[in-house]
Amino acid sequence: MLTTDPFQPIADITDESGHDDDKLHEECGVFGVHGHPEAAAMAALGLHALQHRGQEACGIVSMEDAAGDSFHFHAHRALGHVGDTFDAPGVVNALLGHAAIGHNRYATTGATRLRNVQPLFADFEFGGFAIGHNGNLTNAYQLRRQLVRRGSLFQSTTDTEVLIHLMATSLGGSVIDKMVEAVRQIEGAYSLVAMAKDMVIAIRDPLGVRPLVLGVLETPSGSTANIVASETCALDIIGATYIRDIEPGEMVVLTADGVKSLHPMAPKKSRFCVFEYIYFARPDSALEGRSVYAARREIGRELARESPAPSDAVIPVPDSGVPAAIGYAAESGVPFELGIIRNHYVGRTFIEPTDQIRNLGVRLKHNANRSMIEGKRVVLVDDSIVRGTTSRKIVQMVRQAGAREVHMRISSPPTAHPCFYGIDTPAKEELLADRMSVEEMAEAIGVDSLAFISIDGLYRAMGEARRDPANPTFCDACFTGDYPIGLTDRDDAERQPELSGLTEVRRP
């Protein structure tokens, strides 16, 4: 989600994350529950399962029945991980009510600020309203400027708050009417969860780029609670049953009467983010009716068919490379080995004081298993190469462990274009695939050979004969440059050089 700071010139907003693990990152995870006596606890568990989608901050807002037609809202938001925030004694118990929404946030522009932590909350004439957002609005800056000129006062620097102000200026009568009017004005890729007036509302963008699923959970009293979440793994952790994926452009309203489905936006052909299958989603999730683990394994098989390498061992770069490496090994007949062991008990690589120590930083997360490497020709399988910095260090580590040859195989096509739809990617000129050919990339990271799965091979692994350029099934803009949703803010920045920094403002 987009972040702009009104106290900072747009051109000065830069990526301060360091991208220490040289990976693309999902932006956020969302969760909503209605009809459970321990709704906040269910939300906290759901956010635990969705922690991989955002590690910078988290929040939960719950809704409690009050007298008459009014409701009390309780909120807790904090910087940091879900476990550090909601496992503290008394925190969840204070979030009373039968409904709750939760949000995990991954932020990479400027400093992480508590005012940007979601769900956001606002008081309307109809009462309290909370909202959380996964994705990115590509016309948020344009809408924000219009709203500010009309007198809106923004309290955060996220694009999500644009929706609140669009609702505040709407002449619609009901909460649903105001939300419909608001979402019809926004562009981008998004999954929204919101809560007001004894209802939880979930909306998915018209192309279905970002994931959102619907589930049901039996409560201790035998009643039914309805759930929405970014992935099915969040349903599994609370014992909920998956019902279906929310459709592109669909709005679902969860109330005491059940689930109501609305379609406020014209239906379009789905363009689900293919990188969810390659890397972002948890492998134990199912998205769009397809097992993420099975998809990654099949991508590995197709990669082996396209780009075999003379080798004695297939070694995944953990953890995201594991399913594809299993598929690659099965197809090639070369043994699968855990030649790199990951340390799961570290966070981001710290900024070390010297180059010598800094170059050892990769060993905080990965260490070569020499007994599986020494004297062997190895194939390293990873999901992507972004800047190439971590790949180069991994290759150096494997060579130092005695590998005779090192071949690298990547289970995605080259990432040559930035994402503007809610994925944290560097600027185009910082992407290795934008500046180098595959042969040059191989030399830069120090491997004997390098190959990526082709875009047609990726589609074959996903069950299609090839990618149809006139009618692609997925959003694959980071590989092809084919952006299915207009980039209004970027285009405005290109027309106005003084706003050129806006092209980098696409994160929460």
Q: What is the pLDDT of residues 352-385, one digit of tens each?
A: 445 555 555 566 778 999 999 999 999 999 999 9
Confidence check: pLDDT of 159 > 70: yes
How far is it, in rounded angstroms, from Cα 131 to Cα 28?
13
Is-contact 426 15, C-beta < 8 A?
yes
Encoded amino acid at 86, one letter:
F
The answer to whether residues 213 and 309 belong to one domain is no
Confidence check: pLDDT of 350 > 80: no
In a domain, 214, yes or no: yes
Nearest to 184 by CA among 92, 263, 253, 111: 263
- Domain limit, last residue, from 429, 446, 461: 461
- Domain limit, last residue, from 202, 226, 242: 242
Structural domain for 357, as ranges: 290-461
In three-state secondary structure terms, 218 is strand
Q: Total domain count for the chain?
A: 2
The answer to whether residues 359 and 212 belong to one domain is no
Residue range 179-214, pLDDT digits in tens: 999 999 999 999 999 999 999 999 999 999 999 999
* Catalytic-role residue among 28, 273, 475, 478: 28
Q: Name, in order, each residue with C-beta under 8 angstroms of 433's C-beta and a sequence gap of 6 or more.
A: 385, 414, 415, 416, 441
Confidence check: pLDDT of 503 > 60: no
The answer to whether residues 324 and 184 belong to one domain is no
In a domain, 102, yes or no: yes
The answer to whether residues 306 and 397 belong to one domain is yes
The answer to whether residues 359 and 448 belong to one domain is yes
Q: What is the pLDDT of residue 219?
A: 95
Burial label, 400 (beta-carbon count in 10 A; 0-12, 13-18, 19+): exposed
pTM here is 0.89
Measure the CA dihedral 358/359/364/370, to 10°.
Answer: -160
The answer to whether residues 359 and 238 belong to one domain is no
In a domain, 392, yes or no: yes
How far is it, in rounded angstroms, from Cα 100 to Cα 176?
18
Q: What is the pLDDT of residue 380?
A: 98
With residue 227 as reference, give the H or E element that holds it: strand 224-229
In a domain, 266, yes or no: no
Residue 133's CATH number? 3.60.20.10
Confidence check: pLDDT of 167 > 60: yes
The answer to whether residues 208 and 317 belong to one domain is no
In a domain, 10, yes or no: no
The answer to whether residues 210 and 107 belong to one domain is yes
Residue 431's CATH number? 3.40.50.2020
In a domain, 280, yes or no: no
Q: Is 419 a catalytic residue?
A: no
The answer to whether residues 436 and 295 belong to one domain is yes
In which residue are the tokens 């800056």 written?
141
Residue range 212-240, pLDDT digits in tens: 999 999 999 999 999 999 999 999 999 99
Range list of β-strands (E), 263-420? 272-273, 286-287, 290-291, 313-316, 340-342, 366-368, 377-382, 405-410
The answer to whether residues 63 and 209 belong to one domain is yes
The answer to whether residues 78 and 184 belong to one domain is yes
How far is it, in rounded angstroms, from Cα 372 to Cα 369?
6
In a domain, 357, yes or no: yes
Residue range 79-100, pLDDT digits in tens: 999 999 998 889 999 999 999 9
Residues facing residue 191 across a β-bridge: 134, 204
CA 5 to chain centroid: 22
Q: What is the pLDDT of residue 112?
A: 60
In a domain, 500, yes or no: no
How far is it, in rounded angstroms, from Cα 87 to Cα 467?
45
Is-contact 117 76, C-beta < 8 A?
no
Q: What is the pLDDT of residue 186?
A: 95
The answer to whether residues 185 and 323 belong to one domain is no
